[in-house]
């Protein structure tokens, strides 16, 4: 056992206290960063288009540019994390996020608006899940699973908290002022918390030289792996396109912005319920069964969310169920590779597997807006996304390698 492994396995009391503070700090900053840099946007979308006259496609496209930049920046940000650790990367990321939010709020034209969202994408790459997970993995080593679950549970409430907050603000001031207020809150919370409480000994685990073996290449070329990539990419697109268009769909059908925002918030609360139950699901089901079941459940809940839009009680129940499915899917996606091929050289396999899904998530807002126009409305979009999720569920039966069958 190396010195790094020993320190991770037998931490001192000071190290335990430090990483606990770091974990609490990440819970606070993840819920804030996700809430302001991501979940405020669907709530403010209608106000932005109404005030500026920019089309929904243009505004959604700018948001997608930000997500795309976040995906492309992931690799260089990962190198910075390995070299410098999470504290400087996430602190600088918070500063960049504040600048980006100010740029979004002050944008005089679509080009400025898009450029500001591109800057936001850089911030997202520095403060969202990837650097937080890297930090926790370096701090906790073999004990990281519970800590990772804790962060995802808390961050899953970001829409529950910030969607209603954004709606409350935009009902009283314009969308630009709303973003400036949220940007100030982002600055006050995340910059000092990242700078002060991420001072935890950094012990990242590195692959041994030569770990990228022929076996890894064979896995990545195998039908099961390629099908899994296709399945998760398709499902990611369907789920994110439905999520980001939930508020616009409800307001288009006559709901108030406040009610639509609360519905999105309840969807976020549903994610918490789904993640809590995932451990029990994995203990009682096979890999194939739970993969298919989660994707089919996603299809069903997307349809229910669309068809119950005029019935408040049914809509709330459907939104919570949809959120629970999304919460389970997050953990299903995170464990799909290790469930099938183990944890040996996990980083190599997971990087190849997750890149297309990240691109699909980035494209979902813009492509969803195009599909709304092409299909003739939001309900048609939701039904189309349900079909995609169901097709992914059927294809998931072919994602199991022979040794895991």
Output the average pLDDT for the chain: 85
Residue 385's contacts (CB-CB under 8 Å, 6 or more residues apart) are: 237, 238, 239, 241, 242, 302
Burial of residue 257, with CB atoms counted within 10 A of its CB: 0-12 exposed, 13-18 middle, 19 or more buried: buried
Burial of residue 401, with CB atoms counted within 10 A of its CB: 0-12 exposed, 13-18 middle, 19 or more buried: middle
Q: What is the C-alpha separation between 271 and 328, in angstroms, rounded?
A: 7
Tens digits of residue pLDDT in 120-168:
999 998 998 878 877 877 787 667 667 877 888 888 788 889 989 999 9
Q: What is the C-alpha separation between 126 and 93, in angstroms, rounded?
A: 5
Angle (CA) 150 155 156, round 5°: 100
Per the CB < 8 A criterion, the answer to whether 194 and 87 are in contact is yes
Same fold, 11-197 and 215-404: yes
Q: 58-72, 121-135, 196-210, 258-272: which has the minimum mean pLDDT?
A: 196-210
pLDDT at 30: 96
pLDDT at 11: 66
Domain positions in the chain: 11-197, 215-404
pLDDT at 15: 75
Give yes or no for residue 211 having a pLDDT over 50: no
CATH topology for 215-404 is Growth Hormone; Chain: A; (1.20.1250)
Tens digits of residue pLDDT in 59-101:
988 998 998 888 788 778 877 877 788 899 999 999 999 999 9
CATH 1.20.1250.20 for domain 11-197? yes
Band (pLDDT 50/70/90 cuts) for residue 346 is low
pLDDT at 396: 94
Q: What is the C-alpha separation between 247 and 245, in angstroms, rounded?
A: 6
Give yes or no for residue 4 having a pLDDT over 50: no
Per-residue burial over 31-53, b if 16 or more Cβ lie within 10 Å, else e, is bbbbbbbbbbbbbbbbbbbeebe
How many distinct helices (H) and strands (E) make up the chain?
A: 19, 0
Tens digits of residue pLDDT in 347-388:
556 667 777 887 888 788 888 888 998 998 899 999 999 999
Give yes or no for residue 183 having a pLDDT over 80: yes
């Amino acid at each position: 056992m190396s010195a790094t492994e020993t320190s991770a396995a037998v931490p001192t009391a000071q190290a335990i206290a430090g990483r606990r503070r770091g974990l609490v700090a990440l819970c606070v900053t993840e819920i804030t960063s996700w809430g302001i840099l991501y979940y405020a946007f669907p709530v403010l979308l209608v106000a932005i288009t109404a005030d500026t006259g920019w089309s929904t496609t243009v505004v959604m496209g700018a948001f997608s540019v930000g997500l795309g930049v976040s995906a492309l920046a992931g690799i260089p940000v990962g190198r910075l994390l390995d070299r410098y650790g999470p504290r400087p990367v996430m602190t600088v990321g918070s500063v960049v996020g504040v600048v980006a939010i100010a740029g979004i709020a002050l944008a005089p034209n679509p080009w400025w608006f898009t450029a500001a969202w591109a800057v936001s994408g850089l911030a997202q790459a520095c403060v969202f899940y990837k650097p937080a997970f890297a930090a926790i993995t370096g701090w906790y080593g073999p004990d990281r699973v519970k800590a990772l679950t804790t962060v995802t549970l808390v961050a899953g409430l970001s829409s529950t908290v910030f969607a209603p907050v954004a709606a409350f603000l935009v009902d009283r001031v314009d969308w630009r002022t709303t973003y400036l207020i949220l940007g100030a809150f982002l600055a006050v919370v995340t910059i000092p918390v990242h700078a002060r409480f991420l001072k935890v000994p950094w012990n990242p685990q590195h692959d041994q030289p030569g770990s990228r073996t022929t076996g890894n290449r064979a896995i990545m070329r195998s039908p099961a792996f390629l099908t899994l990539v296709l399945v998760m990419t398709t499902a990611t697109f369907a789920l994110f396109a439905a999520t980001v268009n939930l508020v616009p769909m409800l307001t288009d059908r006559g709901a108030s912005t406040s009610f639509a925002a609360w519905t999105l918030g309840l969807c976020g609360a549903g994610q918490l319920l789904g993640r809590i139950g995932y451990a029990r699901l994995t203990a009682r089901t096979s890999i194939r069964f739970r993969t298919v079941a989660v994707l089919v459940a996603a299809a069903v809940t997307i349809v229910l969310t669309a068809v119950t839009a005029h019935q408040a009680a049914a809509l709330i129940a459907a939104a919570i169920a949809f959120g629970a499915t999304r919460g389970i899917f997050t953990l299903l996606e995170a464990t799909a590779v290790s469930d099938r091929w183990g944890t040996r050289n996990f980083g190599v396999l997971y990087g190849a597997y997750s890149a297309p899904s990240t691109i699909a998530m980035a494209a979902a807002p813009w492509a969803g807006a195009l599909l709304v126009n092409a299909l003739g409305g939001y309900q048609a979009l939701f039904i189309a996304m349900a079909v995609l999720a169901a097709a992914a569920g059927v294809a998931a039966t072919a994602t199991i390698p022979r040794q895991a069958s």
